[in-house]
Amino acid sequence: MTFEEVSRYFYVPITVAAKELKMGLTQLKKKCRELGIPRWPHRKMKSLQVLISNVQELGREDGEMGETQLQRAIEILEREREAIERVPGTQLEEKTKRLRQACFKANFKKRRQSKPGAAAVAGRRDPVRAS
């Protein structure tokens, strides 16, 4: 089994990859260590995919970000995704982590505002927790 064969499954959980490769989970993990894959990168890859789609969506909704800035941000994220495909042990850059946090915050605010009565609940304090 080669690195290329294993890397095709980076976008699925390791248990699914093991089934697809027709091998046991422990056997796959051992093979990954031999191939230089310290941790299964599924969650990191999924996080980057979600971040790319969030940036695209927020860029369409929010006209503040220029088209060139949006394209640059997406290109950087795509390059980082490709780097993780080549070297799965690669850590996410600090800029990417901050961007991910900003997207989480923006999505949280959007969900909170879309809930009915969110403004009334946000201003009210819980008397039990107030003390």
Give residue-wise pLDDT tens across range 95-128. 889 888 988 888 888 888 887 765 555 555 555 5
- If you average pLDDT over every residue of the chain, what do you get? 84
Above pLDDT 90, what percent of the chain? 46
**Quick check: 21 pLDDT over 90?**
yes
- pTM (predicted TM-score): 0.72
Count the neighbouring beta carbons within 10 Å of the beta carbon of residue 131: 5
Residue 89 confidence (pLDDT): 86
Q: What share of the chain is helix, strand, coil (3-state, %, to 5)?
A: 70, 0, 30
In this prediction, residue 67 has a pLDDT band, given cuts at 50, 70 and 90, of confident
